[in-house]
Amino acid sequence: MAGQKRILLLGSGFVASPCVEYLARDKNNVVTIGVTKFAIQTYKSDFVACRGIEKAQKLASAFPGVLSASVDVSNEAQLDEAISKCDVVISLIPYTFHAQVIKSAIKYKKHVVTTSYVSPAMMELDQACKDAGIICLNEVGLDPGIDHFYALKTIDEVHSKGGKIISFLSYCGGLPAPEASNNPLGYKFSWSARGVLLALLNNAKYWENGKIVEIQGKELMKSAKPIFIYPGFALVGYPNRDSTSYKERYNIPEAQTILRGTLRYQGFPEFVKALVDIGFLNSENQSILSASNTEPLFWNQLTANLLNSSSTNSSDLLEKVNEKIVTDDAELRSRILAGVKWLGVLSDEIQVKKAGTYLDTLCARLEELMQYGPGERDLVILQHKFQVENADGSMVTKTSTLVDFGIPDGVTSMAKTVGVPCGIATQLVLDGKISRTGVLAPLTPDIYEPIMNTLAGEGVYCVEETLI
């Protein structure tokens, strides 16, 4: 067909469906979904890849004409063959595969879109992408993605009027809606619990009043503090990895404070800190949790082993846990102890699903307990707060705020706010509306403005306010 545009989408995880839905609106698009040893499905001009044929078929069934096949991105010949047949490849698979996807795309001069941060391995391919005349556009999801669009919109507007950004604070969180936050952590998993928990152990680094502040991973939860966005949300925030590079990335060398952080509900950091102090987030292999150890193991036995307790009695174990909790707040201590009991880690009836480490074994338990139930919905909250010095020396505070709810038993807000901007960015690349080549992020108006403006038409946008 003349005018057909063939799209290979690697990965059929939770964000794939909104991305495919957006791209499938254009009947000239042919979409393919595929991942390592996963199925590839073809929506006329679209392919979708995933880890199992059943998952691929389920996703395909939502879009008439979608077929399924398999591709293994770890097999260079298979990957080359799949990419050679498309015009653009969207990589929603783990970021460790992106460089390999880009290398294949360079061979066949095909564009690439990802929602991931630009890694050093990807950036090394920048000149090769330019030489091949291809666009490799990244960071076009929610965070990173929408956060960039609205941060840079305000920063560019302030600079254009001769103003300065004195402070930039940005917090983002994917959460259960308040009515679904019905567990001691106030959190539910829409993807791997392991990734969520590991992020809680990352070191953090940011600018505060002209000085760099560093926080070690084990102390990250202690740094959490209340974040006021709207009175109806009881939120706390803590720093997310390294924010210091955003002086350069966002071109705000004048900023004295720069912090990008994560939002959770109140109580989450304290509970997680208790789990860290107890030792449940230890990622070292344990013989007691080895797959080769076929002896049945119950949670009270595992917790006793972790706490070096000679007793497996739940009351004795709870007292040991109580000794590990560091707080002078009696009510908070009581809530944490109740949460530990809720986890079932003191039970002599719940058998442990051994996963090699305390961290992975706890993840398996959390994923059993903390999934979204029927009729529940999620929530995405993003807010930027800018302290601005205007050209005349006056000071104002500006905010950009996104609050978006998922659809009960339907598309989650997280899937929509990652998948739709990705789909929009891909369509803009296909239509020639984004044309600069190389390994890119949406950090300049020629890239972020058309994505942001189109996204607003999909009902996803930040409310911008100036507070005097």
Q: How far apart are CA 443 and CA 464, in angstroms?
A: 19
> 237-267: per-residue pLDDT in tens?
999 999 999 999 999 999 999 999 999 999 9
- Residue 170 is which amino acid? S
Pairing of strands 46-50, 66-71: unpaired
Q: Map out the domains of the chain with their CATH numbers.
A: 5-138 (3.40.50.720), 146-271+375-412 (3.30.360.10), 285-356 (1.10.1870.10)
Average pLDDT, the chain: 90
Q: How far apart are CA 261 and CA 263, in angstroms?
A: 7
* Token duo for residue 242: 């390294």
Q: Are 451 and 421 in contact (CB under 8 A)?
A: yes
pLDDT of residue 190: 72
* Token duo for residue 355: 């996963």
Q: How far apart are CA 49 and CA 116, in angstroms?
A: 18
Distance in angstroms between the alpha carbons of the first and the last residue of the chain: 57
Percentage of residues in the chain with pLDDT exceeding 90? 75
Q: What are the start-end ranges of the H helices in 244-329?
A: 246-249, 268-278, 299-306, 314-324
> 65-85: per-residue pLDDT in tens?
555 557 788 889 989 998 999
Note the pTM of the prediction, 2 decimals.
0.90
| Category of 206 on φ-ψ map: left (φ > 0), alpha (ψ -120 to 50) or beta | beta
The residues that are catalytic are: 143
pLDDT of residue 150: 98
| Selection from 344, 218, 358 nearest residue 285 by Cα | 358
Residue 13 predicted with pLDDT over 90: no
What confidence category does residue 339 fall into, taking pLDDT thresholds of 50, 70 and 90? very high
Q: Are 227 and 235 in contact (CB under 8 A)?
A: yes
> 96-132: per-residue pLDDT in tens?
889 999 999 999 999 999 999 999 999 999 999 999 9
Chain-centre distance for alpha carbon 254: 29
Highest mean pLDDT among 27-36, 226-235, 266-275: 226-235
285 DSSP 8-state letter: B
pLDDT of residue 227: 97
pLDDT (average), residues 1-17: 80
